[in-house]
Amino acid sequence: MKNTWFQKLKTSLTKSSTVISEGITNIISSRKLDDETLQELEDLLIKADLGVDNSISIIENLKKEKFNKDVETDEIKNFLANQIELKLEGSYSPLDTEKSKSPRTIIVVGVNGSGKTTTIAKLAYLLKNNGARVILGAADTFRAAATQQLEVWAKKLNLDIVSLPETKDAASVAFETIKIATENNYDTAIIDTAGRLQNRSELMDELAKIIRVIKKYEPQAPHSILLTLDATAGQNAIQQAKVFNEIAKITGLIVTKLDGSAKAGYVVSISQELKIPIHFIGVGESIEDLSDFNIKDFSRLIVGLDR
């Protein structure tokens, strides 16, 4: 199982690792690590979206260790992998699935198309396979067909779902979901929400209301507020995440669509800037394509190294 995941992550990171790996090969082929070479390496990291500050500090460290020395490609890759791993230290934590808090209420938020609904299906599948009784709440009352999309997943995965087709009030659906989950002893309720851009204040108000209303039913809930971040969006998403975090205290991140991104280095920026743990990464469109975020594997694969 672990190996399958590793392969999947490796494939997912191909776009990003090709940029870095080929870049390194081109830059340092039989050259000493002089200032010009270091500058080119720094540009490469910035291009892979590690963020300017991270890229500068990593290359400064490289300079301290290896300036004007003859270097091999793999030596540079290993150095960078270690540096990336250090930057990511502490950025993973598993999603809390402690049963004593049943029903655990998880609410998933994010901008339009960032992967909320698909991720909910993947997460529900994962939790169900671990023996949890899961119920879904279709609180995206904004987009036509959003409820239907979640219902299709629920049917496929044989999961119960709460939807109130007659209401446009997302908070009512969320309230009803947690109520039904509590009364019927579900372990976990996962609530889908509408995609919203952080500058749409009426939608951000709606999000605040959903959370307020859930708390009315159960002050401890929601136990997790997860933000999906699209890895192809790169640095832009960091500002979005900050606004979401102000409205709804985000407890964990899921970085989606890593498989389609040439900017996977963005994960490093996220962890540095947001200091919110990354629980999972999305590595494809199918139901099994949700993986725990493994820092070491990520750090090595992104620079084109294997285990």
Residues within the interface to ligand GTP (CB under 6 A): 110, 112-118, 140, 143, 146, 195, 256-257, 259-260, 282-285, 289
Residue 277 binding result from Mg ion, ligand GTP, none, given CB thresholds of 5 to 8 Å by partner type = none
Binding site partner of 113, from Mg ion, ligand GTP, none, Cβ cut-off 5-8 A by kind:
ligand GTP
| Coarse DSSP helix, strand, coil percentages of the chain, rounded to the nearest 5 percent | 55, 15, 30
| CA dist., res. 247 & res. 198, Å (int) | 10
Q: In what order do the strands lie in the sheet with 290-292?
A: 160-162, 134-139, 188-193, 104-109, 224-230, 252-256, 278-282, 290-292
By a kind-dependent CB cut-off of 5 to 8 A, residue 55 interacts, out of Mg ion, ligand GTP, none, with: none
- Under 8 Å between Cβ of 122 and 226: no
Q: Are 238 and 279 in contact (CB under 8 A)?
A: no
Nearer to ligand GTP, 63 or 200 (CB): 200
CB of 71 to ligand GTP, least distance (A): 35
Residue 116 corresponds to which tokens in the numbers above? 């909320």
* 112 interacts with, out of ligand GTP, Mg ion, none, CB within 5 to 8 A per kind: ligand GTP
- Taking the least distance from each CB to ligand GTP, the nearer of 63 and 209 is 209
**What is the smallest separation between the CB atom of 66 and ligand GTP, expressed in angstroms?**
36
Q: Which residues fall within 8 angstroms of residue 216, CB to CB, at 6 or more apart?
A: 175
State the minimum distance, in angstroms, from the CB of residue 57 to ligand GTP.
29
Cis peptide before 165 (omega within 30 of 0): no
Closest distance of CB 215 from Mg ion, Å: 23
Shortest Cβ distance from residue 196 to Mg ion (Å)?
Answer: 11
| Nearer Cβ to ligand GTP (116/300) | 116
Indicate the residue among 81 and 162 with the shorter CB distance to ligand GTP: 162
Q: Which does 176 bind (CB under 5 to 8 A by kind): Mg ion, ligand GTP, none?
A: none
Residue 95 beta carbon to Mg ion: minimum distance, rounded to whole angstroms:
19
- Nearest alpha carbon to residue 233 among 187, 264, 199: 264
User: What is d(CA 155, CA 278) in angstroms, rounded to the nearest whole number?
Assistant: 29
Q: Which is nearer to Mg ion, 8 or 116 (CB)?
A: 116
Helical ranges in 111-219 per DSSP H = 116-129, 146-157, 170-183, 201-217
268 contacts 54 by C-beta, under 8 angstroms = yes
Picked from Mg ion, ligand GTP, none, the partner binding residue 260 (CB below 5 to 8 A depending on kind) is ligand GTP
Contact set with Mg ion (CB under 5 A): 116-117
Write down the least CB distance from residue 73 to ligand GTP, Å.
30
Return the number of the residue (140 or 176) whose C-beta is nearest ligand GTP: 140
Q: Are strands 278-282 and 290-292 parallel, antiparallel or unpaired?
A: antiparallel
Rank residues 76 and 146 by Cβ distance to ligand GTP and give the closer one: 146
User: Given the complex with ligand GTP, which of 153 and 175 has the nearer CB atom?
Assistant: 153
| Spatial CB neighbours of 274, under 8 Å, sequence gap ≥ 6 | 238, 241, 242, 245, 250, 253
How far does CA 214 lie from the centroid of its chain? Answer: 24
**Residue 114 site contact among Mg ion, ligand GTP, none (CB < 5 to 8 Å, cut-off depends on kind):** ligand GTP
Q: Which residue lies nearest ligand GTP, judged by its C-beta?
A: 195
Contact 236, 116 (CB under 8 A): no
Closest contact distance (angstroms) between CB of 288 and ligand GTP is 11
